[in-house]
Structure 1
Amino acid sequence: MIRFLRRDRGQAFPIYIMMVAGLLFLALAFFAVGKASALRNGSQGAADAAALAAAQKARDNFGPGFLGSLPLNTLDIFLNAPFAAPCAEAARLAAANEADEKLCYPTPGYLRDRITVEVEGRKPVDSPVIPGSENRKAEAKATAVIEFNCPNPKAFDFNSDGVQDLFVFTCRTGEIVKITTAEITPGLWETVSRTLFDVRLVDQ
């Protein structure tokens, strides 16, 4: 009887070792999945920040052109003109979030439409249970839209001198923005740009 028990113990030991090895593998696999998910979330956050920063910088950059188009009555032409995405700003924000900007491009359209940024995280998954993971990094993409909130502006001859010098914007929020030619200075854009233009992330 004692010999029989010893024989059972000898047979159970390899099974025990296999079970421990299997559990260890599962633990490593779950850890790898969790790490990959965390890196993916981090890269998505970097892409979101980079796209928003680029869009906000673009809004700042075209302020002088926007204001300059008002007295010339060329606002529609200005809003339809192609613009360059400030990708240096996107790269800066991506780097601040431990990622590298891989692609940055505008999608021109009426109202200065979109800027898309693609990034790659700097940290690899590097898991012993995922082949090739030592070089695999998380990638993500985000798009920000610059939306003109106040369409159909109206121009008036404020001084009755035959020159349009008052511009009235009625925005979707119900807010009304009035600009006179005497106010058109670089400092004015900082005051009115966030009302005239909305910068936000959109679905891909």
Structure 2
Amino acid sequence: MTKLPRSDRGQAFPIYIMMVAGLLFLALAFFAVGKASALRNGSQGAADAAALAAAQQARTNFGPGFYASLLGNMLDAFLVAPFDVPCSEAQRLASANDADEKLCYPTPGYLRDRITVEVEGRKPVDSPVLPGSENKKAKAEATALIEFRCPNPKVVDADSNGVPELFTFTCRNGEIIEIVPASPPPWESVSRTLFDVRLVDQ
């Protein structure tokens, strides 16, 4: 069996140490990347939940204004009017997902359009192999659409006095809703049919 001279064995030891150090660095780097990816995914989930929550609460808040617009025969004006964005609801859902709401705003448009929420995760990447990562937190953004899906209702004004007695909405899912403005149904029973809420790309 051939043996390495003592001097060769001494030279091999630093190489071995460097290889072990290199492998350890790579392991830490992969761990940091994996942690950053997990934090990013968590923040995206928080942003999605926050945007949907804000949009759903906005839809709930539409009830009084929607019915008032029917009584005043001003539905089109209601659908394009500015509305308050319930950003507190966005923060509540972001917080439940270990993040904080940083931006929350509507994008005006016909049929009540969009609510965008940006969140920042609470946990930093904090990796020894990524400089500055001790303060680096994952950010994500999501946009929810509130879509009025029952346009062009049929209006009955039997007295021809400009005050409609009945609105018949034929919605895109085929459902038909009849609303008497003077005696409307509970908002929660019709709101999800009249207004769809879903996540969309910006």
TM-score bracket for the superposition, by shorter chain length: over 0.9
Calculate the TM-score normalised by the size of structure 2.
0.94
1:112 paired residue number: 112
Distance in 1 (CA, whole Å) between partners of 2:121 and 2:4 is: 58
Report how far residue 97 of structure 1 moved: 0.5
- Tell me the C-alpha RMSD between the 2 structures: 1.6
Is contact 2:144-2:199 (8 Å) kept? yes
Once residues 108 and 156 of structure 2 are traced to their aligned partners in structure 1, the CA distance between those partners, rounded to angstroms, is 30
Cα distance in 1, alignment partners of residues 65 and 155 from structure 2? 17
Alignment of 1:199 onto 2:200:
no
2-structure distance, mates of 1:154, 1:73: 12
Q: Which residue of 2 aligns with 1:35?
A: 35
Q: Once the 2 structures are TM-superposed, how far is the Cα of residue 161 of structure 1 from its aligned partner?
A: 3.9
Contact 2:71 2:182 (8 Å CA) reproduced: no
AA aligned to 1:114 is R
Amino acid at match of 2:130: I
**Hey, what does 1:9 align to over in structure 2?**
9
Matched AA of 2:61:
N
Q: % of aligned pairs identical?
A: 79
Residues 1:178 and 1:9: Cα distance change in structure 2 (over 3 Å): same
- Displacement of 1:33: 0.1
- Counterpart AA for 2:143: T
Deviates more, 1:22-31 or 1:12-21: 12-21
CA contact (8 A) 2:44 2:141 kept: yes
Which residue in 1 is equivalent to 2:46? 46
Contact 1:147 1:197 in 2 (8 A): yes
SS in 2 for 1:131: coil
Shift in alpha-carbon separation, 1:109–1:3, aligned structure 2, 3 A:
closer
Q: Gapped runs of 5+ residues in structure 2?
A: none
Q: More deviation in 21-30 or 102-111?
A: 102-111
Deviations 1:86-127 (A, max 9, x none): 111111111111001111101111111110000100000000
User: Does the residue aligned with 1:183 lie in a helix, a strand or coil?
Assistant: coil
1:131 equivalenced with 2:125 (yes/no): no
Indicate the residue corresponding to 1:19 in structure 2. Answer: 19
Question: Map of 1:126-165 to 2, 5 A cutoff?
Answer: 126-157=126-157, 160-162=158-160, 163-165=163-165
Q: In 2, are the aligned partners of 1:83 and 1:108 still within 8 Å (CA)? A: no
1:129-180 deviation digits (Å, cap 9, x = unpaired): 00010000000000001000111111114xx444521110111111111111
Q: Secondary structure at the match of 1:140?
A: strand
SS at match of 2:18: helix
Q: Which SS does the other structure have where 1:181 is aligned? A: coil
Question: Counterparts of 2:138 and 2:80 in 1: how far apart (Å)?
Answer: 36
Separation of aligned partners in 2, 1:128 and 1:71: 64
Q: CA deviation at 1:21?
A: 0.4
Q: Distance in 2 between matches of 1:161 and 1:99?
A: 55
